[in-house]
Amino acid sequence: MTTTKKLSLAVAGTALAAGLVLAPAAAFAHVGVDAADEPVAGQSTTLSFGFSHGCDGSPTTQIAISMPEGLSGVHPIADAGWSIDVERGGDAGRVSTVTYTAIEPIPDELRGEVAMQVGFADDASGELVFPVEQSCESGSTSWSEVAEPGQDPHDLDAPAPTLEMVTPTPSEEPAASEAGDGVEPWTIVSASVNVLAIGVAAVALTIAVRSARRR
């Protein structure tokens, strides 16, 4: 069963409030995804989805992002320039689609961006694909193509945003010399014994001197 939860924002957004900037005329027309931190299994980060053009010049009205397997949680980030619909599906109620609807259509020459916080499952690995449906006042574009092995993603007409999971490198054990600052354990023991012997000798000498004075 699929349910939809709508998060409506009462404040109308302006281009500045929505995080829009002028897009270079030569910019590639596609939707991309960027992670605030390295995407690592079992951790979380903020994902930003940016687009720099509408649909053949038509202003963008909506961005619908499908969630892949490998996520443990999805929390869209509220923005005054968008209303947000969260669609859940499956027995576990996992978020399946997040739809951002622009309060005001975003002109073709402006760059728009939406964001969400996501958690990665403990077994998340490889490449996560986020198909996006971009709707405009006139027409729409389905950014859902995935490159085949060996294929250049730039050859695709409408590539889906993808995120490559990162495998952390295990931290190395500190070397024995580093742990002891280059001093061998037996050297420390030997020095301790010498200090103790000197202390005992000093005490014995003090006792002998006092005994001699009493005589």
Residue 146 in contact with residue 131, Cβ under 8 Å? no
pLDDT of residue 124: 96
Other residues' Cβ atoms within 10 Å of the Cβ of residue 119: 15
Residue of 113, 61, 112, 81 lying closest to 12 (CA atoms): 81
Distance CA 137, CA 55 (A): 8
Stated pTM of the model? 0.69
Distance CA 49, CA 52 (A): 10
Q: Which residues of the chain have pLDDT under 50?
A: 5-28, 172-174, 176-180, 183, 186-189, 193, 209
Residue of 119, 125, 123, 156 lying closest to 141 (CA atoms): 156
Which of the 8 DSSP states describes residue 180?
T
Structure tokens at 202: 């000093």
164: which strand partners? 127
Distance CA 125, CA 59 (A): 36
Residue 86 CB contacts under 8 Å (≥ 6 apart), including other chains? 4, 5, 6, 7, 74, 76, 95, 97, 98
Distance CA 27, CA 166 (A): 28
